[in-house]
Structure 1
């Protein structure tokens, strides 16, 4: 397990291969960091699939409305939903979208991020200043790299459990 400096601002995502440890950046994006902790604590991310996974680019998940694995999964709607909480305003910063950073997924409106997020497989600096960066993987990137590819994947990987480290 990674050396966790701030358990209250660290997220643990359990995937089939192991845990991914994400350091949130509340000094950079306080609203996005707080939202992720709120949804993790509510169990909203547990069982949600990675619905858009593009080789060399990123793995996207977090559709808590439509993206739960199981027999009722409607792949036609996954990726179109968020949570029942209001959308978040953009919190753009100078932080680049480097490999392992966590970005807020959104629609065309920069202020439409809600629950969905993506983890960058590589440096995607063309996203800089357009999507909020609010965390970075500090351990377990090999598990992110192993996520099944596809838009959507035929057999999508699932966030089995997502929790705040201080609660674990």
Structure 2
């Protein structure tokens, strides 16, 4: 699909229909008290917008592309993104199913930056016996389905999401001026994004990975391969022991692909569809996007989820 999705009039009407109960109650109060004029009716809050969503506004996780990392502080649920990095996701799944990551520690953890693991030696120099991977830093924006551009920011002309994964992209208008007609799109290295570690050679990723605990877009974007994002359990990642190396490194107790876990034991999580008009309305109500399309800070945005039917913002 070329370019980014935009909210049409039909989508806006459908969204506001679901919010009619809020507007009706507020309007009735205003009329009875005479305190508010028609144009002063209180707008719904970001939480009220999410609470007014319908079941169709949410999507389940694909068990085959969901990774569970059990840490001492709790479970981290990660959505794998083969649409961004098919070879890296395949490697993560292969090593997980071989129990390669079970017991491996986070050997390099820097506050406000990232937590790195996946080295069987715990030194930062080890890897699996599998061959290294070619870089998958960017994709052609025109080949990525589900891109929803929410605006722009100080770093990128297009900022948005692809099914919950935060991304940035070059302007689509560049396509006619570039020799290979390729317009780059890439994951942004915000807290919660999963990325692959490598040596100096861009094509040297193997088994080591890191999870973002800070904003490092300027240093890492388009230089490292993003392959997923933390859907739930980010607080457990905040409790990974810091250090280079840590005095008592935090281990991965076990890693599992959700499809290999009995259905009754899988986490019941649904994610708000970021391509839905309600998502942009939620962001505007939260003050993350203004009417001109300027995004305040994509690294501060958390995509809402439902866990066991309970909304978490």
- Structure-2-length-normalised TM-score: 0.49
Structure 2 unaligned residues grouped into runs of 5+? 1-58, 139-185, 262-313
Match of 1:104 among 172, 188, 196: 196
2:131 matched to which residue of 1? 86
* Correspondence for 2:62: 6
Question: 2:242 maps to what in 1?
Answer: 149
**CA distance, structure 2, for counterparts of residue 5 and residue 119 of structure 1:** 19
Any residues of structure 2 matched to 1:122-137 within 5 Å, and which?
122-126=214-218, 127-137=220-230
| Residues 83-103 of structure 1: CA deviation (Å, up to 9, x unaligned) | 000000000121111110001
**What SS is found at the alignment partner of 2:99?**
coil
Q: Which deviations, in whole Å up to 9, do the C-alpha atoms of 1:36-68 show, x marking residues without a partner? A: 00000000000000000000000000013x13x
Contact 1:4 1:10 in 2 (8 A): no
Q: Shift of residue 4 of structure 1? A: 4.9
Aligned pairs, number: 155
- Please identify which structure carries the higher helix content: 2
Superposed counterparts of 1:1-168, under 5 Å? 4-64=60-120, 66-67=121-122, 78-93=123-138, 94-126=186-218, 127-168=220-261
Name the larger-Rg structure: 2
Q: Which structure 1 residue ranges, 5 or more long, are not aligned?
A: 68-77
**TM-score, normalized by length of structure 1?**
0.90
